[in-house]
Amino acid sequence: MKQTPAETIGAFDAKTHLSALLDKVARGGVFLITKHGKPIARLGPVDPGTALPTLAEAFAEARQFRAGLKQRLKRVEIRELIATGRR
């Protein structure tokens, strides 16, 4: 697949004109979003071969992440977190 050259746009302008940018992306446009002149994101069409997760799959993944996070936090004492924050 041939990659379209990206048009550069600042983050503020991207936020302000998001609806118009999405219309252009739907027609194949690609944008490089910058913040303070540094590239931070690329906005472009989704590859038709990319399978997006269903809502149920996304929730299952979030629950799994949350369970793992809880397990990691159980081993950490609140005093450790406070001491670390003071460093």
In the predicted structure, residue 83 carries a pLDDT above the cut 60: yes
Hey, what CATH class is 7-43 in? alpha beta
Q: What does the domain layout of the chain look like in residue ranges?
A: 7-43, 55-86
Q: What global pTM score does this model have? A: 0.53
- Least Cα distance to 45 among 64, 66, 62, 29 occurs for 29
Task: Tell me what the pLDDT averaged over the chain comes to.
Answer: 86
Q: Please check the confidence at residue 87 and state whether its pLDDT lies above 80.
A: no
pLDDT at 4: 63
In the chain, how long is the greatest CA-to-CA distance? 54
* DSSP state for residue 5 in the 8-state scheme: P
pLDDT in tens, 18-67: 999 999 999 999 999 999 999 999 999 988 777 888 999 999 999 999 88
